[in-house]
Amino acid sequence: MNIRDDKKIMFVMGVSLSVIVLAIAILAFGTTSSAQVFLSLGLIVAGLLMFAILLHTATKPETELVADERVTRVNEKAGNSAFWLVLISITILFWSDRVWSIGVELVDLYYAAMVVGTISWSVLRWYYNKKDVVVG
């Protein structure tokens, strides 16, 4: 397994390992409240995931990391469509709350935008990737 020595990849790997060590130090030497334990475990998981993703990226040849025109076009098309879906869904939620007083709060709109955006971008990207010709 050849690991590329790209400066950005090595720097972020170091940051992710530092986050893990910091979280373990907080767990070991800090007072153990439930919020602090939850925060430390979240940092450990995030650091491990970041390290694993970067290790996977560092073992790929550099030619596989560069997106070609088709992949770029698919991502742009999916992003544009996902943006409009998020805008429409948030507008519908906002106006339905104004008309029927459902009790939707700003935090609910934020989470709805995140979920709709992530899922719609992933599905649309998969859909446009499966098509032979990208409609544009």
Phi-psi category of residue 32: left, alpha or beta, with phi > 0 → left and psi -120 to 50 → alpha: beta
Report the C-alpha gap between 78 and 36 in whole angstroms. 39
Cα 74–Cα 75–Cα 76 angle in degrees, nearest 5: 90
What is the pLDDT tens value at each position of the chain, 136 positions in all? 566 667 777 788 888 888 888 888 877 777 667 777 887 888 888 888 888 888 887 777 766 666 678 888 888 999 999 999 999 999 998 898 889 888 888 888 888 899 999 999 999 998 998 875 545 5
- Residues 51 and 85 placed together within one structural domain of the fold: no
Residue range(s) defining the domain that contains residue 26: 7-64
**Residue 107, token pair as written in the block:** 């935090």
- Residues 53 and 75 placed together within one structural domain of the fold: no
| Helix 69-100 and helix 106-130, axial crossing angle in degrees, nearest 10 | 150
Report the C-alpha gap between 2 and 62 in whole angstroms. 11
pLDDT digits (tens, 9 = 90+) for 67-96: 678 888 888 999 999 999 999 999 998 898
- Residues 11 and 59 placed together within one structural domain of the fold: yes
103 domain-assigned = yes
